[in-house]
Amino acid sequence: MADLHGLEISARTAAALPDWDDTVAYLASRPLPAVEVLRAADAAARPVVQPRCGVGGHGEMLGLLRELESAGPGILSVTIDSHTRLLRFDTASALLRRRPADLNGYPLVTHGWQRGRELTEAVAVPLEVRHGSPDGRDLFAVALAAGITSYEGGGIGYNLPYSKDVPLAHSLRAWQQVDALCGTLAASGVVVDRELFGTLTAVLVPPSTSLAVAVLEAVAAAREGVRCLSVAYPQGGEPHQDIAALRAVRSLAARYLDPAVEVFPVLHEFMGVFPRTPEYAGLLILQGGLLARLGGAAKVVSKTVQEAYGIPDAAANAAGVRTAALGTSDLLDFVRYDESRVAEEQHWIEREVAELVDPVLADGDLFAAVETAFAEGRLDIPFSASVHARSRVVPRRDRDGAIRYADSGSLPFSRAVLRRNAALLRDPEGARPRSLIDAATADIHYFLDKESRLPLRAPYGANSDTPPRY
Amino acid sequence: MDTLHGRSERLVILGVAESDAHAVANHLIAMQLREHGFTVVNLGVCTPLADFADALDRHPRAEAVLIGSLNGHAHQDLRALPELRAAGRLRRPVVLGGNLSVGSRTTDADLQRLRDLGVDHILPDAGGLVLLLDMLDAAAREPEPQHG
């Protein structure tokens, strides 16, 4: 192990890095760091759009970034391959030599910081590294040296949805070091944007679950000196709930964080089972842009009409950026919605978040409290891959499509919260009873069902690639 | 709890095959089984076959071992089944469900290869799972035929 100003990384990664002063100077010299893009979007009250994008080969990645830049994104992504996410740098390296097309993202650690700087310099917009690693320390060191000013992840959100058996104590401490280095950089005037992955498992995540995890990670990050946080919330599908959740990001930040920390709400366009027709998929992408603006998000991460079929090609990805941007455009500024309904939703989201996080934050040892709360089910996320979360929470959609708690397991909700969730999920008189699995499957396939009621035809046959089945 | 057979508890072991990280179906099936009164020992995603055998050793009352596989690598992930059975382990019905081969069509030959490994039941759809478990349970309780 080597130590990079408190960031413990492998000796091999450390040996390849430039001097720390060189990294800091290069970051400081970036003409447009991510935080400035977010500030400008916030001031303009119109979110910028960011696509996810990452391919294995370096030349291909340069080409992809340049092609996507022409679609007008505010920030571009370097999405990392899954071997690098799991710290299997040797596997990533072997695949890169043999079959780079088999990598499902850009292996930044393997390519190294010099090539990373080529990516940074290839486009005028800032880059963000998106990955999914429970321990993103080596990757962070290389990303910084590459001049990348935005880094996604956190000790809960990048662990429990992705990894089967990484203890929270490990991931929380790894991300603590990442955040502490951001604090060190902030003291030298370099602000790194840290995005928190509230999207979690991307399947029927109740807003208060997403935001509770984000609040806990945000408090932990702010304690280490992070000065810029993007709090990502996943579009659930019911517009009032989605707008309310984005607005709640700001009120929760005001309640739980030092005002010196800049917090930007971010909408991740719908991450669940995606519509199959380009028309309906496009409509959902457009709606995501609109909801991001109405909710006061500074950024919206776009989807593509090929989402149901796998990793999109560059043209579809660029089209997704444009479509989401149209959703944020002034042509839709006339759109109004029921403010009182949004306010009511926001009130209950904030109350649920408080009931989840207040007992944890009251503990003197935040990380131990988080770990114990997940072990006991007082914090929980649905459909987790991890043995360190119970996943006893059962989410369901209500009649309007909003995501509620059908079973909150051991979450410490008040009677008022439990009553409201139960009331909203009560079946109408005479409704045909369904098994839990049928009901949950229908909720997961929510947009497929809506799409099927329209006169649209999927471009691919039933026996070719189909959307994931649950 | 199900008291149909005068028992207080019905228990199954559930998990997803070793190379497979699909968590959603796994959780839905666990919920469905619990809703029907089963105690579910859920080993979750990415579970090596030996871990299923270990779980059965710990929970010898388990009625069946339920393995999900959605990524098409079921045969590869279950290749140690004959060896474990030969060693006297995993002596319960092994039920396999999900997408069982690479590509969208599963052929009879694919299914036969899985049966040849010792997979006892293959379910394309989790909807039939409780019925299958009830049938296996009833069959296990039938008295040995009397000869004589």
- The pLDDT assigned to A464 comes to 40
Alpha carbons A444 and A268: distance in angstroms, whole number: 17
- Among A106-110, A324-328, B63-67, B123-127, whose mean pLDDT is lowest? B123-127
**pLDDT reading at A466 higher than 50:** no
Is residue B144 a part of any domain in this protein?
no
Is residue B143 a part of any domain in this protein?
no
Is residue B77 a part of any domain in this protein?
yes
Is residue B145 a part of any domain in this protein?
no
Alpha carbons A141 and A318: distance in angstroms, whole number: 29
Size of interface A-B (CB pairs under 8 A): 52
B114: domain CATH number is: 3.40.50.280
Catalytic residue list of A: 85, 152
Q: Which residues of A touch B29 (CB under 8 A)?
A: 437
- The pLDDT assigned to A119 comes to 98
Q: Which residues of B touch A444 (CB under 8 A)?
A: 24
Alpha carbons B80 and B102: distance in angstroms, whole number: 19
**pLDDT reading at A468 higher than 50:** no
Alpha carbon distances (Å) from B140 to A334, B7, B115, B135? 67, 14, 20, 9
- B125 touches A: beta carbon within 8 Å: no
* Strand pairing report for B121-123 and B94-98: parallel
Domain count, chain B: 1
Q: Which residues of B touch A466 (CB under 8 A)?
A: 104
Is residue B96 a part of any domain in this protein?
yes
Alpha carbons B105 and B23: distance in angstroms, whole number: 22
Residue A122, Cβ neighbours under 10 Å: how many?
A: 16
Binary contact (B27, A383; C-beta < 8 A): yes
* Residue B30 near residue B40 (C-beta atoms within 8 A): yes
Binary contact (A385, B99; C-beta < 8 A): no
* Torsion sign across C-alpha atoms A96, A97, A100, A102: negative
Judging by beta carbons within 10 Å of its beta carbon (0-12, 13-18, 19+), is residue A189 exposed, middle or buried?
Answer: exposed
Is residue B5 a part of any domain in this protein?
no
Alpha carbons A391 and A380: distance in angstroms, whole number: 6
Q: Which of residues 4-63 of B touch A (CB under 8 A)?
A: 21-25, 27-29, 31-32, 35, 44-46
In A135-270, the DSSP E strands lie at 150-152, 193-197, 228-234, 262-268
Which chain B residue shows the shortest CA-CA distance from A466?
Answer: B104
Is residue B147 a part of any domain in this protein?
no
Rounded to an integer, the average pLDDT of A16-26 is 98
For B108, the domain range is: 10-138
| b/e A218-228 (16+ beta carbons within 10 angstroms → b) | bbbbbebbbbb
Alpha carbons B28 and B32: distance in angstroms, whole number: 6
Rounded to an integer, the average pLDDT of B23-44 is 93
- The pLDDT assigned to B7 comes to 60
Please write the tens of the pLDDT for every residue from A250-296.
Answer: 999 999 999 999 999 999 999 999 999 999 999 999 999 999 999 99
Rounded to an integer, the average pLDDT of B73-93 is 95
Show the tokens assigned to A337.
Answer: 């919605």
Question: Which of A164, A391, A470 has its CB closest to that of B25?
Answer: A470
Please write the tens of the pLDDT for every residue from A356-386.
Answer: 999 999 999 999 999 999 999 999 999 999 9
Binary contact (B24, A444; C-beta < 8 A): yes
Show the tokens assigned to A131.
Answer: 């990955």
Alpha carbons A168 and A171: distance in angstroms, whole number: 5
Domain A2-332 architecture: Alpha-Beta Barrel (3.20)
Helix (H) or strand (E) holding A173: helix A168-187
Alpha carbons A178 and A217: distance in angstroms, whole number: 12
**pLDDT reading at A311 higher than 80:** yes
- The pLDDT assigned to B146 comes to 62
| Total residues found in chain A within this entry | 470
For residue B43, which of B77, B70, B71, B12 has the smallest C-alpha distance? B12
Strand partners, A197: A232
Which chain A residue shows the shortest CA-CA distance from B106?
Answer: A463
